[in-house]
Amino acid sequence: MDRPDTIHGRLLEAVHITGYTFERACSELEWLLTDDRWKQVGGGCDDINAFLATINLSDFKIVAEQRKRIAKRLAKIEASQRATARLLGVDHKTINGDLRGENSPPAKKKSNDGNGAKSANGENSPPTREWFDDPAVDPAKLAKAANNRNTSHIRRAERLEEINSRNRPLESAIRYPVIYADPPWKYENPPIGAGNRSIENHYPTMTLEEICALPVASEIAASDGMLYLWATAPKLAECMQVVTAWGFVYRTNMVWDKGLIGNGYHARNQHELLLICKRGEIPPPLAGTQPPSIYSERRGEHSAKPDFFAGMIERAYPTLAKIELFRRGAPRPGWACWGNQVEEAVA
């Protein structure tokens, strides 16, 4: 059974978790409201309105009947209408109408974007692979977001379209038990000494929200598998969020000593981390394939990782299907790959 803090953590990141619907958010919120479990969050909380202020469900497609149920549930424990309205992304007059029974439910539930929301028949639709295969953004969704004054949706959709415009499509519905990924992190502040060597000069970057939103858990990763995820020292905490969003659990890490001193605010970084994460039940690597936790090789061109690590993964799981996300260059023999800098294989 999950603890209140765990449920609360999911609600904080709900909109970024693939397949996480408003229905699920309501269910987990109601669980926290039952038996005053919300008071156990964050080491102890006594003010329901302060607790509600930590959560924002306004980015979801909200069903009126569920909104009313949540509003009535919160009213019983003396949550303010304004706090409830802020939580659900409506004005307090709407909540007042919900409590008075004045707001009518919509005549028909319309289908959403296939990302785990309600479909026209009222059933949960499974996520699709269209994010990878079709870079187009539905203009109707952007218009609706604009009408709702939710410009964050527009900015995110435009950014994902830009990044996705050159992505190599995934060619099958295979779920991969081994995933190797080197996300193109966006750095808000360039490191001291970076000068004009901005990452943006080398490849398009992505925010934490965009990386977490990739449908790895729902469409790419097998139910039992391994994730090998590159993390730079400043992005370690964010990488852990990606691990969770993609449906994995952190197990251990390796250190790549790059042999050259780089940039940094507090320390001039000379290493990167390879996070090793697990999902479900998968046998351990073949005996004798486990290398030392520190590997030294002089850094090459920007962002390129030593082939040693891909080879290590191949030796550990020689028979399992593998995919490399954010691949730059030609595909590795025997690997599937995805990214906007994938080159054609050399004949």
The answer to whether the beta carbons of residues 63 and 103 sit under 8 Å apart is: no
Concatenating the DSSP letter of every residue in 249-272 gives EEEEEEEEE-SS----SSS---EE
Q: Residue 154's pLDDT is what?
A: 52
Sheet holding 176-181, edge to edge: 294-296, 249-257, 271-279, 221-231, 176-181, 322-325, 336-338
Where does residue 101 fall: left (phi above 0), alpha (psi -120 to 50 degrees), or beta otherwise? left
User: Per the structure block, which two tokens stand in for 198?
Assistant: 């901005």
Give the separation between CA 241 and CA 99, rounded to whole angstroms: 37
Determine what percent of the chain falls in helix, strand and coil, rounding each to the nearest 5: 40, 15, 45
- Distance, CA of 67 to CA of 17 (rounded, Å): 21
Q: What is the CATH code for 170-342?
A: 3.40.50.150
**What is the DSSP secondary structure assignment for residue 108, as one 8-state letter?**
S
How many angstroms separate the CA atoms of 252 and 36, rounded?
Answer: 36
Predicted confidence pLDDT, tens digits, the chain (347 residues): 578 888 887 787 776 676 678 888 888 888 888 888 888 876 677 788 888 888 888 777 777 888 888 889 899 888 888 888 888 888 888 888 888 887 655 444 444 443 333 333 333 333 333 334 333 444 454 444 444 434 544 555 555 555 555 555 555 568 999 999 999 887 655 444 444 334 443 346 788 888 998 889 988 999 999 999 999 998 999 999 999 999 999 999 999 999 988 777 788 889 999 999 999 999 999 999 999 999 999 987 756 899 999 999 999 999 999 999 988 778 889 999 887 655 544 33
The pLDDT value recorded for residue 28 is: 86
Read off the pTM: 0.52
- As a whole number of angstroms, the distance between CA 310 and CA 234 comes to 23
Structure tokens at 10: 């999911």
Counts for the chain of helices (H) and strands (E), in that order:
12, 9
Closest C-alpha to 226, from 291, 279, 287 = 279
Is residue 241 classed exposed, middle or buried when 0-12, 13-18 and 19+ CB atoms within 10 A define those classes? middle
Asked if residue 206 lies in contact with residue 185, where contact means CB atoms within 8 angstroms, the answer is yes
Neighbours of 19 (CB within 10 A): 17
